[in-house]
Amino acid sequence: MMHKISIKVNGDLYVLSVEPWKTLNQVLREDLNLTGTKLGCGTGDCGACTVLVDGRSVTSCLTLAVEMDGKEILTVEGLAPAGEELHPIQRAFVEKGAIQCGYCTPGMELSALYLLKNNPSPSEAEIREALSGNLCRCTGYNKIVEAVQWAAKELKAEKSKSTRSK
């Protein structure tokens, strides 16, 4: 039996009919063609599928789409909508050389966003802890940690600039 759900993804509203077994990851990638969200292990271990649901980080491979009715979802495509500048977290990953194959990157960036929204000045240990559910097989983690530190500074500078211009 199909279930009707209504979800907002990156600000756009979708009304979909989904099978009860379908995951959020499948809906994003297969039904909405938002393939920035990756599928790695499929068992909640690698973090490649991380998205934000109502502002909280979630492994989309373990989340049933039917549970998403009425929720707001942010994927990596929503960090920098087409035609807009990269998000500071994305710029940081580029600046710091924190990307090799890029498979882990969308999940890492969403986890980093979740961290920085809740803790704008994290220590190195807090960054490592926040990203501990996201595995990278390429870079080693030092560049990724440096990228999050860089992004934290950028976001704080942007915030104080916008506060001053009010």
Q: Which residues here bind ligand FES, judged by CB under 6 A?
A: 39-42, 44-49, 59, 61, 99-104, 136-139
Angular region, 9: left φ>0, alpha ψ -120 to 50, beta rest: beta
Q: Smallest gap, in angstroms, from Cβ of residue 37 to ligand FES?
A: 9
Q: Between 49 and 116, name the residue whose CB sits nearer to ligand FES.
A: 49
Comparison of 56 and 159: residue with beta carbon closer to ligand FES = 56
Least distance in angstroms from the C-beta of 26 to ligand FES: 11
- Least distance (Å) from ligand FES to the CB of residue 165? 36
Give the residue with the Cβ less far from ligand FES, 67 or 158. Answer: 67
Cβ atoms of 21 and 31 within 8 Å: the answer is: no
| Closer CB to ligand FES, 42 or 91, in the complex | 42
CB of 101 to ligand FES, least distance (A): 3
Rounded to whole angstroms, what are the CA distances from 156 to 29, 49, 116, 150?
33, 27, 10, 10
Burial 110-120 (b: 16+ CB within 10 A, else e): bbbbbbbeeee
Q: Is 125 helix (H, G, I), strand (E, B) or coil?
A: helix
Find the helix or strand (DSSP H, E) in which 50 lies: strand 50-53
Q: In the complex with ligand FES, which residue's Cβ is closer, 62 or 80? A: 62
CB of 134 to ligand FES, least distance (A): 9
Spatial strand order of the sheet with 56-59 comes to 12-18, 3-9, 72-74, 50-53, 56-59
